Amino acid sequence: MQIEKDKVVTVHYVVSEPGGEVLEDSHKDQPMAYLHGHHGMMQALEDALLGKGVGDKISKAVENAYGVREEGQVQRVSINHIIREGKAKPKLKPGMMVQLNTQHGPRPATVVKVGLKAVDVDTNHPYAGKTLQFDVEVLKVRDATLEEISHGHAHGDGGVHH
């Protein structure tokens, strides 16, 4: 089966800086599933995966994969807005990646400065402004259910659970 609109695609991926450090590797966790043609994957990768099948691999460099870095995106937020789970909450340090609890759901940020009750965070995506190398391997392709199509995302392993 080939990848096309309304197919659920399960992939393993590695994201790195070209010729450099690996930033993310799904092999360490679980594969990702997305609904093709519904903006569940960045457009450049969806385009590169179109027509591929199980076992196919792509390697693609994407400039500004997570958007252009914008100046003036440092904000001071209450420490209470930083999502830190578990009993052993890690001590916040500059450069640390965190998730902010916002009215629109969790949002990634980078700690710039830590105070007693507030934290200065850069809300640019940590990879904004970077050219990134994506190495993707197609593991499964299947027809989406009507529910997945109506929701606009894949359900089950590697997808959304609700």
The pLDDT of residue 157 is: 74
**74-122 adopts what CATH topology?**
Thrombin, subunit H (2.40.10)
- Which CATH code is given to the segment(s) 7-66+128-151? 3.10.50.40
Which segment of 50-54, 55-59, 84-88, 107-111 scores lowest on mean pLDDT? 84-88
- The Cα 46–Cα 3 span in angstroms is 9
pLDDT tens digits, 36-65: 999 989 999 999 999 999 999 999 999 998
Domain with CATH 3.10.50.40 in the chain: 7-66+128-151
Return the SS3 of 44: helix
Q: Compute the CA torsion angle 103, 104, 108, 113 (nearest 10 deg).
A: -30
Q: Compute the CA torsion angle 24, 27, 30, 34 (nearest 10 deg).
A: 60
The pLDDT of residue 89 is: 67
pTM of the complete model? 0.77
Query: Among 134, 154, 130, 140, which Cα is nearest to 53's?
Result: 140
User: Residue 84's pLDDT band (boundaries 50, 70, 90)?
Assistant: confident
